[in-house]
């Protein structure tokens, strides 16, 4: 498996169910992120991505949500992920509309990306303030404008559009695991997930552990992937 995507849903519900502020759920969720990274590394997965927040999350849940999420991830990136990535050689990258993030989180993201950009081990991607349909639209419009400027009236190709997506540096998704009992992708990397195997669990994300990754990889290996061909 080259690329496994994680939708870490249910953190707020987990905290509310325990009578805790919702932000506590995101904090405990970062502990699980570290476990999943360990498991992915042990299983030689090349890329692990986390759908941390959609544009709708940022816009509809208000400033308090955005600030809470930002503070949790800034702390996690600085205190845990950065030392881990530097010592193990992970490359850390990000995708999304960063104009919608706090300056603190933006600064942290920029620093972590710059410090790990030349690392050659597993890639870990965090997707923030992301809208999959907007990503496709923006990439197509960029290619369209470039063609007009160069008097190039040929049709845009899939390869050309893909090159200018937020997630262009990531390989296509092989599988997606969503926590939280919800069975949809919620706009997570729609271009990349076209042929991804989909797995869902009722576990709320802070209840996750590295065994979840081992289980998904075992199931994935049993799937015959045809990509539109015949099933034998």
Q: What is the pTM of this model?
A: 0.90
Residue carrying structure tokens 């969503």:
178
Higher pLDDT among residues 166 and 146, named by residue: 146
The answer, yes or no, to whether residue 62 has pLDDT greater than 70, is no
State the pLDDT confidence band at 232, using cuts at 50, 70 and 90: low
Q: Which of 165, 186, 208 is the last residue of a domain?
A: 165
* 158 and 46 within one domain: no
Quote the pLDDT of residue 231: 53
Q: Count of domains in the chain? A: 2
pLDDT score of 225 more than 90: no
Contact indicator for 210, 40 with CB cutoff of 8 Å:
no
| 178 and 194 together in one domain | yes
* pLDDT for the residue 59: 65
Per-residue model confidence as pLDDT tens digits over 35-49: 999 999 999 999 999
> Residue 151's domain spans which residues?
132-165
Burial pattern 175-186, b for ≥16 Cβ within 10 A else e, equals bbbbbbeeeebe
What's the pLDDT band for 145 if we cut at 50, 70, 90? very high
**Residues for the chain: how many in total?**
232
Say whether both 24 and 53 belong to one domain. yes
Query: Helix (H, G, I), strand (E, B), or coil: what is residue 200?
Result: strand
- pLDDT: is 217 or 168 the higher one? 217
- pLDDT at position 226 is 62
Rg (CA), the chain: 18
- The answer, yes or no, to whether residue 75 has pLDDT greater than 70, is yes
Contact status, residue 101 vs residue 128, Cβ threshold 8 Å:
yes
Task: Identify whether residues 90 and 37 lie together within a single domain.
Answer: yes
Same-domain pairing of 154 and 181: no
In this structure, are 144 and 99 located in the same domain? Answer: no
E strand spans, 69-140: 91-96, 123-128
- Residues 186 and 193: their CA atoms lie apart, in Å, by 12
Pairwise pLDDT comparison (224 vs 157), residue with the higher score: 157
Number of neighbours of residue 94 by Cβ within 10 angstroms: 25
Give the residue among 122, 101, 100 at the shortest CA–CA distance from 1: 122
Domain C-terminal end among 165, 182, 210: 165
Give the helix/strand (H/E) hosting 50.
strand 47-51
Instruction: Work out the pLDDT band at 100, boundaries 50, 70, 90.
Output: confident
Average pLDDT over every residue of 113-136: 92
On whether both 75 and 143 belong to a single domain, the answer is: no
Helix (H, G, I), strand (E, B) or coil at 49: strand
Residue 229 located in a structural domain: no
**If you search the block for the tokens 């559009």, which residue do you land on?**
161
Rounded to an integer, the average pLDDT of 61-83 is 87
């Amino acid at each position: 498996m080259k690329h496994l995507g994680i939708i870490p849903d249910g953190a707020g519900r987990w905290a509310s169910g325990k009578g805790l502020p919702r932000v506590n759920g995101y904090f405990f969720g970062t502990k699980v992120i570290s476990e999943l990274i360990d498991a992915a590394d042990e299983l030689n997965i090349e890329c692990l991505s986390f759908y941390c927040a959609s544009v709708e999350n940022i816009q509809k849940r208000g400033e308090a949500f955005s600030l809470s999420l930002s503070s949790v991830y800034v702390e996690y990136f600085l205190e845990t992920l950065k030392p881990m990535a530097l010592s193990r050689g992970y490359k850390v990258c990000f995708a999304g509309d960063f104009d919608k993030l706090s300056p603190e989180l933006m600064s942290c993201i920029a620093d972590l990306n710059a410090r790990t950009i030349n690392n050659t081990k597993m890639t870990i991607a965090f997707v923030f303030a992301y809208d999959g349909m907007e990503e496709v639209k923006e990439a197509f419009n960029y290619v369209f404008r470039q063609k007009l400027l160069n008097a190039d009236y040929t049709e845009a190709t899939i390869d050309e559009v893909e090159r200018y997506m937020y997630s262009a540096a990531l390989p296509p998704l092989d599988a997606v695991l969503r926590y939280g009992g919800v069975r949809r992708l919620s706009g997570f990397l729609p271009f990349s997930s076209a042929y991804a195997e989909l797995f869902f669990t009722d576990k709320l994300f802070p209840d996750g552990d590295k065994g979840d990754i081992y289980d998904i990889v075992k199931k994935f290996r049993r799937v015959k992937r045809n990509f539109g061909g015949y099933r034998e």
